[in-house]
């Protein structure tokens, strides 16, 4: 059968139309997702600058007529101690997670031993269990062992969720590196440990930054265990104090503007850290 130029041209026109429709659908979905994120964020920012007299005005306005910084100063003053606790908890959580998971993931990714797959998937299996089932036993043990309401107690508790996930990410990254890197380094005089420190770790820097960032984020935002394992007179992080602000009133007496300002204050450090670590995160998770 011989195809005519018109037939080929018609086929091309059809494909072009499909491409246009597909691109329009893609951009439509992206626009919907952006609006889904941006609109609530704009409401939060707007309310954080709104004085109480305008908060429940009718009709409501998107932006305050007389913006104020009152809620930011009051909210920050109440969160100062909690932010310091959050910083110590998050940095400690990230450092301990890296110390634990780097050698573990390296072994799973580049070494062979009996039961390797079984042990690895047993660790990953722990991610499937809801964390709430651990609340009672961990709280009881932490009270018994003197870890309750302490930085060390939170650092250890958070590793239960971070370590399997971090090993999963790093193991995959280590296993994809060229096979003979360590042997090539040993030819030039490195020991096996020296090859790991001087060759493997620098190459895996993007993945290490990504895991450190995710561990910091988990330590900063984790609420359930932070709420149950701390008290207001101890090392209670800022995220728990935000919850306390929410329950400080009822109905219109809830300090909504201060609540929004505190939410933005708590969200600012992770956002700054993200922009600082953006290059490394891009190397680990792609463009």
Per-position pLDDT tens, the chain of length 287? 444 444 444 455 556 888 888 889 999 999 999 999 999 999 899 989 988 888 777 777 778 888 889 889 998 998 999 999 999 999 999 999 999 999 999 999 888 888 888 999 888 888 887 878 888 889 999 999 999 999 999 999 999 889 998 999 899 888 888 878 888 888 888 888 888 888 889 988 888 998 999 999 999 999 989 999 998 888 999 999 988 887 776 656 778 888 899 999 999 999 998 888 877 776 666 55
d(CA 76, CA 57): 26
d(CA 11, CA 210): 46
What is the pTM (predicted TM-score) of this model? Answer: 0.82
CB atoms within 10 A of CB 40: 10
The 3-state DSSP class for residue 258 equals helix
- Which string of DSSP letters, residue by residue, matches 121-144? HHHHHGGGS-GGGGHHHHHHHHHH
The 3-state DSSP class for residue 148 equals coil
The answer to whether 220 and 155 are in contact (CB under 8 A) is no
- CA 232, 235, 240, 246 torsion-angle sign: positive
Which pLDDT does position 252 carry in this prediction? 61
d(CA 131, CA 133): 5
- Nearest C-alpha neighbor of 106 from the set 115, 116, 121: 116
């Amino acid at each position: 059968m011989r195809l005519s130029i018109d037939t080929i041209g018609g086929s091309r026109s059809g494909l072009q139309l499909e491409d246009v429709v597909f691109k329009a659908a893609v951009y439509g979905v992206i626009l919907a997702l952006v609006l889904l994120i941006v609109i609530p964020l704009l409401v939060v920012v707007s309310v954080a600058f709104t004085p109480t007299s305008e908060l429940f005005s009718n009709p409501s306005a998107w932006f305050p007529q007389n913006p104020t910084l009152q809620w930011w100063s009051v909210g920050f003053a109440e969160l100062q101690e909690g932010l310091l606790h959050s910083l110590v908890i998050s940095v400690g959580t990230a450092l301990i997670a890296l110390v634990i998971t780097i050698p573990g993931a390296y072994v799973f990714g580049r070494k062979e031993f009996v039961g390797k797959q079984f042990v690895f998937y047993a660790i990953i299996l722990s991610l499937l269990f809801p964390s709430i089932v651990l609340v009672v036993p961990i709280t009881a043990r932490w009270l018994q062992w003197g870890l309750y309401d302490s930085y060390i107690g939170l650092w250890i508790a958070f590793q239960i969720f971070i370590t399997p996930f971090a090993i999963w990410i790093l193991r995959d990254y280590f296993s994809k590196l060229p096979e003979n890197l360590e042997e090539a380094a040993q030819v030039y005089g490195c020991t096996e440990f020296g090859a790991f420190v001087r060759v493997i770790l620098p190459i895996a820097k993007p993945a290490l930054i990504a895991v450190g960032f995710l561990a910091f984020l988990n330590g900063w935002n984790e609420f359930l265990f932070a709420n149950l394992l701390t008290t207001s007179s101890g090392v209670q992080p800022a995220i728990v104090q935000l919850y306390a602000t929410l329950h400080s009133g009822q109905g219109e007496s809830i300090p909504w503007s201060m609540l929004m300002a505190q939410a933005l204050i708590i969200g600012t450090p992770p956002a700054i850290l993200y922009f600082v670590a953006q290059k490394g995160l891009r190397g680990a998770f792609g463009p």
